[in-house]
Amino acid sequence: MAHWNKKNKTLLIGILGVTTSITTLFPLIHNKNYPVEPNQIVNEKLKLLIHETNQLKNSKKINLNNYVDLELLNDLLIEANNYIYSSDTNAVDNICNKLKTAKDNAVDFLNEQIVLNNLADEALLLDTNKISTEIANQLASEIKKAKDMALGQSDLVDLNKIKEQEEKLKLQIQTIKEFNAKRNDLENKFNNLTKNLPNPINNKYQTELDLAKIAGENKFSNKETSLNDLEKNFNDYQITLSNAKENNQLLVKQNNLIDDIKQRINNANLSKANQDKNLNKLNEITNLGLDLQASNETIKQVINKLENFEIKEYITPEHQEGNNVVKVANLILKDYDVTNHPKIRDSKIELEQILNNPNASKEDIKIATDKLKEHITNFVNEFNEDITNTTNNFYQGFQSLELYNTEKANESTNNSSFLANDIMGWNNNGIKEDIIKKSEKYFLGPDEEITINTNSKEEFDKAVNKAYKIDITNWENPKIPGLSAKKVHDKYLSVIYETSRVLRNRLLNGLADGGKFIFDSRYELPNNVWWEMMHKTFAYIPIKGRDYLTDSKHSTFEEINNYPSKDYTSENGWFIPDDKQLLDPNWEYSPTYWPDFPVIHTVDEVYWTLYPYIQYAYFLKDILNPEVVTLESSHPQRPNDPRMEWVKLNKESVYGEDLDLANFLTKEAYEAYLKNKNNWYTSTINKTGTTNEGNIIEFGFNIFKVFVNQPWTTEQFKEIEKRNISVLNIEYFNKAVIMYNNVYREKVNDIRNKLELKKAELEKDSEANANEIYEIEELLAYSSYDEINLPLMDKIDKIYDDFITPAQNILE
């Protein structure tokens, strides 16, 4: 990019400075003996400005010939001369300002001419040897325009025209520099590629490479070639070179295989006739690959045949057994991880060397064969045991899978099972079927598929043996499925991954329905029924009347259980909460009184709840957030006191919505899976997991926990494990659910009766009311309440949409 030339600027300022100095001193020299007459006024400032402007115009080192405002400048000079002796100060100031502005504009114009001239000089120095004639001509044209403008030889132009030409020239300079840089880079890369070419390659790919090189050199030697053409030519050469390199690798591999097979034939202790037959068979295979015009695909086919080449020979039983064992070793080395059994590879090489030695005795062959057999057998036993552990773990865990089991929900302080209730749809129906359907894609063939579909342990074990285990009872015809332990691990870890997806969906929907039930049932159930459920099943204490109700005498486990049903009244502080009261977090809530000092409680007083009521304040807002799982909390003024707050699990949790299967299939996950044998997704789990790059891989829900950070005594903790009030008092919840279900059954039946009456009334004039009668008949044909087999809250939503709302519209 061109820049302002400081020398030119200094020169221009110097010219103006000398002019100013001379003009300033001249009156002192010439007027010294000629004083101004008393009434004569000389406007020295204007006079000096006129002189400077004339000097600027008439300087031989600058040229204003093409300055569009030159005529305006001349006119202002003429006008200014008329005011040198004027006494009208306002007029003098006015003409001074105009002339100074015009002069300054002219100076700006001249300065920009210098910038443009420098740019033109820079453009003249550009290397245009490799740019096209068209671009070179465009550059020359823009340089000429710039020079004409800079030297005053163009048509009249203003400052903006000068700047516009600068931008055009800058763009041309930048374009050519970038073009040269890209072209040179491509040419250098191309030249580098043409060095150190692969050898050997056959005639077919040598010819293609030579032609591609000549084509490239021709393109780069022609300055008219576009960048796109150069890039295409470069890419074409890369592809050709890649094919040649592949040909080189294939030829080397083919030749090595040929040499190896010939060596094996020579060392096979064969008769001359057997040697000749094997060599002839070898030549038949290799002729195609050694053809000078053979394609890479043809050579690959030849290599494949060479890799499977078998020497036909009459050998001793010891030699045959040795060959069989070597084949077994090769299959295992090919498909299985034998990192912990390096002696398999070493013993195989040793046996092969003995088998290829025509002087080896039968005893030598037998010793080497037995040695390799022993190492293979150790690996197979270890592998099959690993498969047994993996698959048995899966079978036992999958068979015991229960998301809803009220009894198990009271077995520890960490729960993986939840309250069962068929009406709410909280049961295990269809869970395994959903998991199997999502997991079938990981299992190929009938034997693998049986392992996730059968309930028979005998059938399961039989399928596992056929699908995965290695059987080398018959070394001549072994059963080696080719599935490594890692592949088998991943299959069953993938089922656990899909299980987490299915259970997560069931769990979140179930908990959301629970929150909706509590929210909606406030106004459908008798107050004391609703309150007894909330207080005794969920340990809910209302906000109003809290001082009385949270008194230790009224919040112990015994007092809650013995609280009379009739006393759940507003007079006693049991007000049905409005939406705000129910949904706003209540940090004061704790499932036992004085949570900060739990040690003051007797063992009989302590308890906890699987569903602290506060969680329902969040169900309708946050439960579908995939990261919201664990419930803890903190007092606003005591942030380090964990009590009742939603804690978002790590994104790598098995419950995370975005958990990726590939990230889940890790060695750490498999180790955690084995540690949780028989217990994955069950209630007896105690947050067993393993750290994977800082992430905890858990195989238990542990959604709701006793406040484990509280200083419980040993006796209290032992007791509290079996004192889950939600489980012990589930009868009140079940009672409320049944009553709520009956309320809606009666509501639906009542609406049906009203529709029947309405229909009878309308039928008195059936012709006029035909449309309404038809709509009523459609509603009366709708399924009965008990025929709709859905979880309660889904059922009510459906009935409202399909029946109650349309019916109410008609009845109203």
DSSP string, 414-440: B-S-B--BTTTTBS-TTHHHHHHHHHG
Q: Where are the alpha helices (DSSP H) in 59-88?
A: 70-81
Residues of the domain holding 750:
734-811
Most confident of 35-39, 175-179, 248-252, 544-548: 248-252
The token duo for 198 is 């692969």
Q: Which residues contact 445 (CB under 8 A, 6 or more apart)?
A: 467
The token duo for 680 is 């994955």
| Same domain membership, residue 614 and residue 756 | no
- CA–CA gap between residue 116 and residue 169 (Å, rounded): 9
b (16+ CB within 10 A) / e for 454-470: eeeeeebbebbbbbbbb
| Same domain membership, residue 155 and residue 32 | yes
| Same domain membership, residue 140 and residue 263 | no
Q: Does the pLDDT at position 624 exceed 50?
A: no
Lowest model confidence (mean pLDDT) among 124-128, 532-536, 676-680:
676-680
| Same domain membership, residue 631 and residue 531 | yes
Lowest model confidence (mean pLDDT) among 12-16, 192-196, 203-207, 509-513:
12-16
Query: What is the arithmetic mean of pLDDT over 760-764?
Result: 91
Closest of 183, 185, 201 to residue 247, by C-alpha: 201
Query: What is the arithmetic mean of pLDDT over 159-188?
Result: 87
Lowest model confidence (mean pLDDT) among 1-10, 246-255, 385-394:
1-10
Q: Is 650 left (phi over 0), alpha (psi -120 to 50) or beta?
A: beta
pTM for this prediction: 0.56
Please write the tens of the pLDDT for every residue from 449-468: 999 999 999 999 999 999 99
Q: What is the mean pLDDT of the chain?
A: 80
Please write the tens of the pLDDT for every residue from 596-605: 566 677 777 7
| Same domain membership, residue 701 and residue 649 | yes
> What's the pLDDT score for residue 319?
85
* Position 806 confidence tier, pLDDT thresholds 50, 70, 90: very high
* Position 629 confidence tier, pLDDT thresholds 50, 70, 90: very low
Closest of 324, 371, 364 to residue 346, by C-alpha: 371
Lowest model confidence (mean pLDDT) among 154-168, 383-397, 526-540, 580-594:
580-594
* Position 9 confidence tier, pLDDT thresholds 50, 70, 90: very low
- CA–CA gap between residue 143 and residue 140 (Å, rounded): 5
| Same domain membership, residue 119 and residue 32 | yes
| Same domain membership, residue 707 and residue 589 | yes
Q: Which residues contact 405 (CB under 8 A, 6 or more apart)?
A: 417, 418, 420, 428, 683
Query: What is the arithmetic mean of pLDDT over 275-303?
Result: 87
CB atoms within 10 A of CB 611: 26
| Same domain membership, residue 723 and residue 687 | yes
Q: Does the pLDDT at position 615 exceed 70?
A: no
| Same domain membership, residue 658 and residue 611 | yes
| More confident position, 503 or 347 | 347
Which of 702, 728, 754 corresponds to the end of one domain?
A: 728
Our count of domains for the chain comes to 4
Please write the tens of the pLDDT for every residue from 339-394: 999 999 999 999 999 988 878 888 999 999 999 999 999 999 999 999 999 999 88
> What's the pLDDT score for residue 657?
60
| Same domain membership, residue 43 and residue 10 | yes
| Same domain membership, residue 199 and residue 128 | no
Give, rounded to a whole angstrom, the gap between the first and last alpha carbons of the chain: 83
Which of 692, 710, 728 corresponds to the end of one domain?
A: 728
- CA–CA gap between residue 332 and residue 745 (Å, rounded): 66
- CA–CA gap between residue 138 and residue 64 (Å, rounded): 27
Please write the tens of the pLDDT for every residue from 290-324: 888 888 899 899 999 888 888 876 567 888 899 99
Which of 711, 728, 745 corresponds to the end of one domain?
A: 728
| Same domain membership, residue 788 and residue 649 | no
Please write the tens of the pLDDT for every residue from 506-561: 877 887 788 889 889 999 999 999 999 988 988 777 755 455 455 555 567 888 88
